[in-house]
Amino acid sequence: MKKFLALVLAALMVLSAVSALAESEKNIPELTTEPMTILLWDIATEGVGRTAQEDAVNRFMADYPNIHVEQIHKQNDTYKQDLQVGFSAKEGQPDMYIHWGGGPMAEYYKSGCVNDITELFNTYDHPDFIDAAVAQSTYDGKVLAIPFGGLSGCDIFYNKAIFDELGIEVPQTIAELEAACDKIKEAGYYPFSLANLPRWTGSMYYMYLVARHSGNAEFDAAYDGTGSFTSPAFIYAGEKIQDWVNKGYFNDGFNSMAPDNNDDRALLIQGAAAMMLHGSWQVAGIKNDDEEFYNDNLGVFRFPIDEEAQAAGVPQDVEIGTAIGNGFSFNCWLDAEHTQVDEEKLKACYVLATQYYNDETYNAIQVEGGNTPSIKGYENVDDPNNKVVIDVFFSASNVQLWYDQYLPASVTEVHKDMMGALFGLEKTPEEVGQAQDAAMAAARAE
Amino acid sequence: MAKLQGMAKRDARSTAIAATIFLFPAVALLIVYMVYPIIDTFLISRLKWNGFYTAEKINVGWDNWKTLIQDELFWNSFLHNVILMVCSILIQIPLGMALATFLDASGRKSNIFKILWFLPYLMSSVAVGFLFYYLLATNGGLISGIATLVNGKRTMVDLLGKNPHALYAVIGVVAWQYTPFYMVYFIAGYSNIDTSLYEAAVIDGANRRQYIFKVAIPLLGPIFKTACTMSLIGSLKYFDLIWNMTQGGPNHGTELMATYMYKTSFQKFNMGYGSAIAGGMFILITVIALLFQKVFVVKEDY
Amino acid sequence: MNKIINPQREKTKSRIAWTVAITLAVIWVVVTVGPFIFMVVNSFRDKKMMGRQGVLHFPDPWYFQNYPDVISNGFFGYFFRSLFIVSISLILMLIISSFAAYPLARMKFKLRGFLYAGIVAMMSVPMHVTLIPVYQMTNQMGLINNLFSLLGPYVAFALPMSVFILTGFMMTIPSEMEEAARIDGCNKYNMFFRIILPLSKAGLSTLAIYNAVGMWNEFAFANTFLNDIRVKTLPLALGAFKGEHSQDTPLILTVLTLSALPTVVMFIIFQDKLVKGMMAGAVKG
């Protein structure tokens, strides 16, 4: 018996030695032994994000005692402004900073504040990110960011109790969704809970209706100028939304309600509203707010399909959301004019972002907190609601990043204004499209 | 005669020296922290630039200014500022004056009122924005509640979500927050009036009301004009609560020059045009304020 | 005969006037205090219960954990740093602005009109315009993450309005008082400290209150200059309770309640000075 145990132990030791060997064979750049300071900006002011990210930085500093990482937590709501002010000065710019990809990432890159890491990315180890995440970290064929925040889909959350009470099945098509809304409205509930003050929430309806009606085709065309924001899918989306507003599908006063205060979520939890189209972070949010409601009453389904469009051959698999959540870009240079790359520091940042953020310890904390890393192999989650979101995400052929992050910053602002006006019935879908076209044309001209 | 002239000259010189000494710290600070930035703003307003140190700066001459002059959104925002200004002067100042008059007339025993009335001014704009977000909420807010009571049936009032009342709702909140300041300001003004004037008025047979309207208020004239100037300038460059409550929405219905400038500079990465807006704002406000000074503030005799 | 005032009728009239005035006064108290109570009451709510109960009902049950949570999150650090920088800025600002207002109000010299107009113009500078140039300067001076980086902007931004108000106040000081002092042998410097400054107390206290509240709640400069958690001021403390997708509202209200307290106390102390201020001096003269 003892012998056997010893054998097992020995075997285990060999195994661990092998795995240690495998680990030491990791293909990562060798870092300097000189003292170095990395200035890192993030928005991890609270919660799981903060725990996971501070832990990653501490583990990095323990392994590389000569490198000090100064981790600054900025406030989310003023972060973009802070970054811009930070980049306005010659000194004191962050060496490594979080962003959401899309238009602003391109702007930072064009302004000389992002290192091109294509070579590092192709030479050295990094987590096996899902394709959509790599795509969203790439601009102009260059890899510019390392994802680390986990993916977020966008789906409809619903109150099962109300659906059961009214005998409603989960709608598969937009027509069925409208029928369900009519029934819900008649029973005295709000069909949808919406807090549209920041406008990106209303934008979710617009993006999905466009995507269901035309796949990616019309949006891509409107984006590169070969099409227009007044093309049929956009008009369809605008008209549907205004029709839904007129029919009272949304809660009263939605245009002045803020999702940051969780008022939209509250309407769902209170049982005043039956559904809510929202980002998948709401899974953790609702669970955290009211676990009882979450376990008994909460369900999730995907935005229904457009039957007519499907019959015409339009793909119905577009998922709105973000595959990277947050990404880190690097800003390591030897001179103030950003002409010479500080290779040593860049390597250190790369190792930190790929091997400490995004490693198993980090990802375990992320998963615990309800986030899903955008890395292959994390498709399998236990939580039934989260599973719906994730399954949809991993099976979606393409992920359309939120318009308000994808578009250039100047167009984003117009888009958001227009979402307020569209839902507020102050502008027609046609006018909404024209305003976005004009902004897009101006941005392209730059 | 010559000696007298010499004395006058010496006096003028000593005055100039004293004035320089007293003014130096203020002027120096203002040059560093305000004059320099405003000059910088005008310089940037001739560039196409996103504010990044390493980004390309393209000189576009007066293009931004030409755009500004034709920019409907800017003039619309200016109009909102003017509405805010007129309403602020018409609400905050008379109300502050009335409150101060009550406090002055009732004396020490009304101190508790003074403290309670001042509370709105002590709350930070974040708290105020937050509070009115809930009080004005369409669903479950106070205004909807009152409307439901009055109408006898469930009535939803969407004050902040629709135009044009969003602007007036915000103006009301601004008035709520700033009235206490004018109240305190007028109390200070009242306390500046010599008590002997009150005694003299009473001896002349004047009652309280007559004293207030015939003696006190005319004496408060200069204070009153200063208050108007402050309210005027404050309203024309207002930012805080609008940003916290509506961010200029819905559909630019509460957009002010400052929020428009902020959005352009910092959210659209258009520092050049944002600076032109800021420059335009600076010129407009200064001109209005100086005109107001010229028209309403008679040069003091001293 | 008509002009003889009937004392009885006057008394009734005045009693009615007072009743009306006091009723209105009490209504106004409700308008001003109600919201304050809202803030305090909601700081005793459990965040999780907010969704279910709404914010306009009393918390059920009352939740007391927010206060220990905020305090254990370094509240006093934030608090004392704010107190420190605001006090210094305020005192400095009051000294510099009264220095500047004196010659503008009481002396005749060449550039007077120009300087006065310039100061009015400086009042119209929008704050956000200065953010980038001032940040660049602060950066060059190596003052980022230094509490004193706020001193310059705080004093400078309060100056134009303060000088403007004080000049107005000093202009109302009767010139006879100055005359009398001059005959007593006061020069321009003594005059300022002996006559003008004491007589401007009412204006100075108004300004102290006005600017203290502004500085105490100032966010933009502090947020830009102070990154290190060890130097952050009170308005930045809210950031710790705001995430990317949601915020902890009751905790934020707790911070706001705690931060409002010192300004309330300060007002209670200063408001008395407002009334006494000038009167004391004027009567003596």
- Residue to mutate among A87, A252, A342, A440, with most B CBs inside 10 A, is A252
Which of B192, B261, B270, B293 is the best residue to mutate to test the C interface, defined by the most C CB atoms within 10 Å of its own CB? B192
Question: A265: nearest CA in chain C?
Answer: C51
Give the span between the Cα atoms of B289 and B295, in whole angstroms.
Answer: 10
Which chain B residue lies closest to C93 (C-alpha atoms)? Answer: B26
Residue bearing the bigger pLDDT, A181 or B302 = A181
Alpha helices by DSSP H, listed for B155-301, are 165-192, 195-203, 208-210, 217-219, 221-236, 240-245, 257-262, 271-296
User: Does residue A311 surpass a pLDDT of 60?
Assistant: yes
Percentage of chain B exceeding pLDDT 70: 95
Q: What whole-number distance in Å separates Cα of residue C36 and Cα of residue C30?
A: 10
Of C25, C43, C28, C31, nearest to C261 by C-alpha is: C43
Confidence of residue C137 (pLDDT cuts 50, 70, 90): very high
Domain for residue C41, yes or no? no
Q: Using the predicted structure, report yes or no on whether residue A160 has a pLDDT greater than 80.
A: yes
Q: Is the pLDDT of residue A423 over 70?
A: yes
The percent of residues in chain C predicted with pLDDT above 90, rounded, is 36
A272 has a pLDDT exceeding 70: yes
Q: By C-alpha distance, which of B41, B93, B91 is closest to B68?
A: B41
Judged by CB atoms closer than 8 Å, whether chains meet at B289 and C123 is answered as: yes
Cis upstream peptide for C126 (omega within 30°): no
- Please name the residues between 80 and 99 in chain C that touch chain B, using a CB distance below 8 Å: 96-97, 99
Alpha-carbon gap, residue C135 to C153, rounded angstroms: 10
The shortest C-alpha distance from C228 to chain B (Å) reads 22
Residue A16 scores a pLDDT above 70? no
C32 in contact with B, Cβ within 8 Å: yes
Average pLDDT over residues C226-238: 90
Query: What's the rounded Cα separation, in Å, for the pair B17 and B12?
Result: 9
Residues B207-232 have pLDDT tens digits of 777 777 777 778 787 788 888 998 99
**C89 close to C207: Cβ distance less than 8 angstroms:** no
Pair A162, A274: CB distance under 8 Å: yes
- Indicate if the pLDDT at residue A15 is higher than 60: no
| Contact with chain C for residue B289, Cβ under 8 A | yes
- pLDDT value of residue B2: 59
Q: Considering only residues B298 and B90, tell me which one the structure prediction assigns the higher pLDDT.
A: B90
* DSSP track, A263-280: HHHHHHHHTSEEEEEEET
Q: Does domain A154-321+388-445 have CATH number 3.40.190.10?
A: yes
Residue scoring higher pLDDT (A259 or A162): A162
Alpha-carbon C248 to chain mean position: 27
Of C210, C195, C193, whose CA–CA distance to C270 is shortest? C210
Q: Tell whether C57 lies on the interface with B, counting CB pairs under 8 A.
A: no
* Domain range summary for chain A, segments of one domain joined by +: 31-148+324-368, 154-321+388-445
| pLDDT-wise least confident of A98-102, A205-209, C195-199 | C195-199
Looking at the partner chain, which of A77, A266, A288 has a beta carbon nearest the beta carbon of C242?
Answer: A77
Residue B301: pLDDT band by 50, 70, 90 thresholds?
A: very low
Contact at CB, C126 and B282, closer than 8 angstroms: yes
Question: Mean per-residue pLDDT for A114-119?
Answer: 97
What pLDDT is stored for residue A14 in this prediction? 52
pLDDT surpasses 90 at C61: no
Structure tokens at A315: 């793909």
Least confident of B1-10, B85-94, B163-172: B1-10
pTM metric for this prediction = 0.90
Cα distance between residue A312 and residue C134, in whole Å: 58
CB contact under 8 A, C268 and B115: yes
The residue type found at A327 is G
**pLDDT (0 to 100) of residue C281:** 36
pLDDT of C205 > 90? The answer is: no
Length of chain C: 285
Q: Quick check: A439 pLDDT over 60?
A: yes
| Any domain includes C64 | no
Nearest Cα of chain B lies from the Cα of C157 at a distance, in angstroms, of 8
pLDDT digits (tens, 9 = 90+) for B118-156: 999 988 888 888 888 888 888 777 787 788 888 877 777
- What is d(CA A209, CA A235) in angstroms, rounded to the nearest whole number? 10
Integer Cα distance of C173 and C196 in angstroms: 8
The answer on pLDDT for B31 being more than 90 is yes
- pLDDT of A340 over the 50 cut: yes
> Is the four-CA dihedral A105, A108, A109, A113 of positive or negative sign?
negative
Answer yes or no: is pLDDT of B206 > 90.
no
Say what the pLDDT of residue B3 is: 62
The residue ranges of DSSP E strands in A240-362, in sequence order, are: 273-279, 298-301, 318-321, 327-330
Task: Indicate whether A3 pLDDT > 80.
Answer: no
The token duo for A178 is 């409208």
**pLDDT for A377:** 86
Of all residues in chain B, the one with the smallest CA distance to A82 is B266
pLDDT mean over B285-301: 78
Looking at the partner chain, which of C39, C130, C157 has a beta carbon nearest the beta carbon of B131? C39
| pLDDT on residue B300 | 47
Lowest mean per-residue pLDDT among A180-189, A236-245, A429-438, B221-230:
B221-230
Interface residues on A facing C, Cβ-Cβ cutoff 8 A: 43, 45-47, 49, 72-78, 82, 85, 88-92, 259-262, 265-266, 269-270, 279, 281, 285, 288-290
Q: How high is the mean pLDDT of chain C?
A: 85
For B40, the enclosing helix (H) or strand (E) is helix B36-44
Identify the band that residue C283 occupies on the pLDDT scale cut at 50, 70 and 90.
very low
Q: What is the 3-state secondary structure (H, E, C) of C128-156?
A: HHHHHHHHHHHHHCCCCCCHHHHHHHHHH
Dist. CA C190–CA B245, nearest whole Å: 50
At residue C275, does pLDDT exceed 60?
no
Assess C128–B contact: CB distance below 8 Å, yes or no: yes
State residue A9's pLDDT score.
Answer: 56
Q: Which has more confidence, C14 or B96? A: B96
The nearest CA of chain A is from the CA of B264 a distance in Å of 8
The answer to whether the Cβ–Cβ distance between A46 and C241 falls below 8 Å is yes
* Residue C208 pLDDT level (bands cut at 50, 70, 90): confident
Q: Quick one: CA dihedral A130, A136, A139, A140, positive or negative?
A: positive
Taking alpha carbons only, the member of A73, A38, A137 closest to residue A349 is: A38
The predicted pLDDT at position C240 comes to: 81
Query: What confidence tier does A208 reach under pLDDT thresholds 50, 70, 90?
Result: very high
The distance of C127 to chain B (nearest Cα, Å) reads 9
Dump the DSSP string for B176-188.
HHHHHHHHHHHHH
Helix (H, G, I), strand (E, B) or coil at B48: strand
Check B195 against C235: CB less than 8 A apart. Answer: no
Q: Are A252 and B263 a contacting pair at CB < 8 A?
A: no
pLDDT band with cut points at 50, 70 and 90 for residue C277:
very low
Q: Is domain A31-148+324-368 classified as CATH 3.40.190.10?
A: yes
Average pLDDT (C267-275) is: 71
Bridge partners (DSSP) of residue A139 are A142
Burial track B175-186 (b if 16+ CB lie within 10 A, e otherwise): bbbbbbbbbbbb
Query: What is the distance in angstroms between the Cα of C156 and the nearest Cα belonging to chain B?
Result: 6
Residue B298, pLDDT > 60, answer no
A290: which chain C residues are within 8 Å (Cβ-Cβ)? Answer: 48, 51-52
Whether A46 sits inside 8 A of C52 (CB atoms) is no
Pairwise CA distance, residues B34 & B286, whole Å: 14
Is B236 within 8 Å of chain C by CB?
yes
**Among B48-62, C4-18, C47-61, which range has the highest average pLDDT?**
B48-62
- Contact call for C136 and A92, based on CB within 8 A: no
Tokens of A4: 């056997």
**Amino acid code (one letter) for C115:** L
Neighbours of chain C (3+ CB pairs under 8 A): A, B
C126: domain CATH number is 1.10.3720.10
Q: Is C52 a residue whose pLDDT tops 80?
A: no
Residue C102 pLDDT grade (very low, low, confident, very high; cuts 50, 70, 90): very high
Residue of C nearest to A92 (CA): C139
Q: Is the pLDDT of residue B1 over 70?
A: no
C107 touches chain B (CB under 8 A): yes
Residue in B with minimal Cα distance to A193: B139
C272: helix, strand or coil? helix
Using one digit for the tens of pLDDT, what is the confidence trace for B234-259?
999 999 889 888 888 888 999 999 99
Q: How many CB pairs under 8 A join B and C?
A: 267
Asked if residue C182 belongs to a domain, the reply is yes
Of the candidates B54, B251, B269, which has its C-beta nearest A409's C-beta? B269
Question: Is the pLDDT score of A228 beyond 60?
Answer: yes
A92: chain C residues, CB-CB within 8 Å: 139, 144
What is the chain B residue with the closest CA to A113?
A: B54
Q: C100, exposed or middle or buried, with CB in 10 Å at 0-12, 13-18, 19+?
A: buried
* Paired residues of A375 in beta bridges: A129
From CA A154, how far away is CA A208, in angstroms rounded?
9
Domains contained in chain C, number: 1
Is B62 near chain A, with CB under 8 Å?
A: no
Residue B17: closest C-alpha in chain C = C109
Which residue does chain A place closest to B255, by CA atoms? A417
CB-based contact C245 A279, cutoff 8 Å: yes
Counting residues of chain A whose pLDDT is more than 70, the rounded percentage is 94
Q: Which residue has the tokens 């999780």?
A: C48
**Among candidate residues A328, A281, A273, the one with its CA nearest the CA of residue A148:** A328
- The mean pLDDT value for C45-60 works out to 76
Which residues in chain B (44-63) have CB-CB distances under 8 A to chain C?
51
Q: What is the mean pLDDT of residues C252-266?
A: 89
Q: Sorting pLDDT into bands at 50, 70 and 90, what band is C285? A: very low
**Model pLDDT, residue C270:** 73
Contacting B with CB below 8 Å, chain A residues are 80-81, 84-85, 87-90, 93, 104, 107-108, 110-113, 197-199, 251-258, 261, 263, 267, 272, 336-338, 409-410, 412-413, 417, 420-421, 424, 426-427
Tell me whether residue C3 is in a domain: no
β-pair partners for A250: A192
Q: Which chains border A (3 or more CB–CB pairs < 8 Å)? A: B, C
Query: Please, are residues C81 and C231 in contact by the beta-carbon 8 Å criterion?
Result: yes
- B-chain residues near C274 (CB < 8 A): 184, 187-188, 191
Is the CB of B227 inside 8 Å of chain A's CB atoms?
no
User: B130 or C52, which is more confident?
Assistant: B130
Range B45-296: architecture per CATH: Orthogonal Bundle (1.10)
Residue C279: per-residue pLDDT: 42
Same fold, A31-148+324-368 and A154-321+388-445: yes
Percent of chain C, pLDDT > 70?
91
Pairing of strands A96-99, A36-42: parallel
